[in-house]
Amino acid sequence: MIWCRFLRDDAVSYGVVEDGRIKEVSGSPFGTWNYSGRTFAVADVTLDVPVVPGNFYAIGSNYASHVEERGKVRGTGAKYYDVPRVGYRANSALLPTGQNIVKPQGSGEQFQYEGELVAVIGKKARRVSPEEAWSCIFGWTIGNDVTERDWQKNDPTNLRGKNCDTFKPMGPWIVTGIHPKDMRTQVVLNGKKLHDFATGNMLFDAGAVISAISQTNTLHPGDVVWLGTDELPVNIKPGDRLDITISGIGTLSNAVVAE
């Protein structure tokens, strides 16, 4: 099933996407819901972020080649971690597909994307095992973890480096009933494919990450967990367009503009 949030007539609703049309629902996929009886063509509505999470987690250093390439750039060598490196992100940075990533005034040239698989939590998870954690996943969407690297290096909280307005595109929708082992992630910049990797080839899979978080922080329906990226991103600038596609889900598309 494909779930979306969409804007029409100044109201935001959830809907189920089928054959290019959205069947509007009352309620939400994380509680009780019913079809409203109204349907719209996807092209006739504005897609919003597919969920506004109560809690927004993100993991770094989760693909081997990404760790190795970062180590080369820093001159430190690859540094692998024994447990997932989990951070927290701001809802105020969320951005739907189709809207513009804004490069802030004063930001540097090392302004980069990270195409990521996002797990959307479907039921409460507290102190679950990695095996149990899989049953807590409602579905999957796509994230772009936009980062200003100079700010990231000099700001230990990541407030500016990763949480500025528009730095977290997410969408276009949530897909249920699929598994990362069957997915590939592609990143296309201005029509040129830059990255193509096996999405499920993670150092810590979704079950391990969710389990680790749940040992200290209760996850709730609608929370999201971003699962990291592979390969090394390049700089982006105003005028660029990014298309991040994960097989089985769809494509998250955003242009870059200057503030």
**What's the mean per-residue pLDDT of the chain?**
95
Q: Nearest to residue 216, comparing CAs of 78, 70, 86, 110?
A: 86
Tell me: the pLDDT tens digits for 108-127?
999 999 999 999 999 999 99
Tell me: the pLDDT tens digits for 29-86?
999 999 999 999 999 999 999 999 999 999 988 998 777 777 676 677 778 889 999 9
Q: What percent of the chain has pLDDT over 90?
A: 89
**Predicted local distance difference test score (pLDDT) of residue 65:** 79
Whether 156 has a pLDDT exceeding 90, the answer reads no
Whether 5 has a pLDDT exceeding 90, the answer reads yes
Amino acid at 27: G
Mean pLDDT of 186-193: 98
Mean pLDDT of 94-104: 98
Q: Compute φ and ψ for 210, nearest 5 degrees.
A: -65, -40
Whether 132 has a pLDDT exceeding 80, the answer reads yes
Rg for the chain, CA atoms, rounded: 18
**Predicted local distance difference test score (pLDDT) of residue 80:** 82
